[in-house]
A = this chain, B = another copy of it.
Amino acid sequence: MSRVKVGIIGSQFEADIHAASFQIMPEEAEVVAVASPTEGHAAALAERYGIPRVFRDYREMLREPDIEMVTITAPNRLHAQMTVDAANAGKHVVCEKPLCMTLEEADLMIDTCKRKGILLQYAEELFFTPKYLKAKEMADHGAFGKIYLVKQSEKHFGPHGDWFWDVEQSGGGVFFDMGCHGIAFCYWFLGRPAIKTVYAQMGTYVHRDKTRGEDDCICVIEFADGAVGMVENSWARRGGMDDRVEVFGEGGCSYANLHMGNALATYSEYGYGYAVEKAPTTKGWTYPVFEELWNYGFPQEMRHFARCVRGKEEPRSTGEDGRVVLECLYAGYASAGRGAKVGLPFRPRGVAKPIDLWLETGKEQTK
């Protein structure tokens, strides 16, 4: 059976990860095209990874008959339209996180893909992160008994790409950008129980000169099975990328640290090529990681998506997952505005972007 032909929409940080991931695990898929409006960027990516076709308009790329799957790495506000266009062109979709800006968009994406018989796959790589899969394997085996608390945290000192800082384009700050990982993780780890309530504490502590978005957030989620999820995120934490999971059950606990917890403890007077995502330096004490993409699970994730297109596996991360996460993000922003936990289902009308639920009502409380 031939390899799935893939087109990538976008040419920046995430697009590079997708292209590299398909190359690391090449047996199920190959990238045949890339589309990006910024002249030169798509061509550069294409050259880096030997991608034969380059487009400036993704809609043109969608007309290529051999492409079976597109991956969307464009800014959040474009996800919905691109997904609808791809579905209408008969292409399976892999959409980066967060799924989109509003619940209305999420519904449209899900409905359109369903109607067109298209797979809408949600790119939550934490479902494929090897170290975290081991935590889930142990949990599912009963190692911890009944779990009452799951924590997921991702922190660094601020995003790639200028558009992240502009909430008009991004839809929110670090909670929207990275909290979506933690929410998805806790939800999936616990076996997708209904979310009952969400509470979030957020503020713009360090980067007020750059953004109206929150740069640090603590979010507490109550699930219907009685467990609690805690999601911590920061764009204000110095020292390089930090990603952790903690699991607590009546019978045990586990601590998984994806960066310092895998790395080589290293001291260098002279520095070297690369330590870890967003590391400030390679001199002095550093914690270089190895095979970074593989340890995040990106190649495994992309391989899975291709296999799903071929019917070899059942989708593990869908538009519906992305929609649950988005509803929880809505509730988190509203909670931060109100200073109170917000119950689900939660579907306020007229939301232009999630962060408005905080910015418009409550930010002054956190000053």
Contacts and interface: CB of A to CB of B under 8 A. Distances in A.
Interface residues of A, number: 76
Q: How many chain copies does the complex carry?
A: 4
Contacts of A252: 238-239, 266-270
A226 B148 contact: no
Contact of A143 (B218, B282, B338, B366): B282
B270 A264 contact: no
A350 interface: no
A366 B221 CA distance: 11
Nearest to A266: B254
A351 interface: no
Interface string A212-238: 000010101010001010100010111
Contacts of A284: 280-281, 283-286
Given A251-B270, A264-B256, A285-B287, A338 B340 contact: yes
Given A131-B264, A133-B290, A270 B148 contact: no
A255 B265 contact: yes
Interface in A134-189: 134-135, 137-138, 141-146, 148-149
22 contacts: A130-B294, A134-B289, A138-B273, A141-B273, A143-B270, A145-B269, A146-B205, A148-B205, A205-B226, A205-B250, A218-B230, A234-B248, A236-B248, A236-B250, A238-B251, A238-B253, A238-B268, A239-B253, A251-B269, A252-B269, A254-B266, A285-B285
Interface of A: 26-27, 130-131, 133-135, 137-138, 141-146, 148-149, 197, 199, 201, 203, 205-206, 216, 218, 220, 222, 226, 228, 230, 234, 236-239, 248, 250-256, 260-262, 264-273, 280-291, 294, 338-341, 365-367
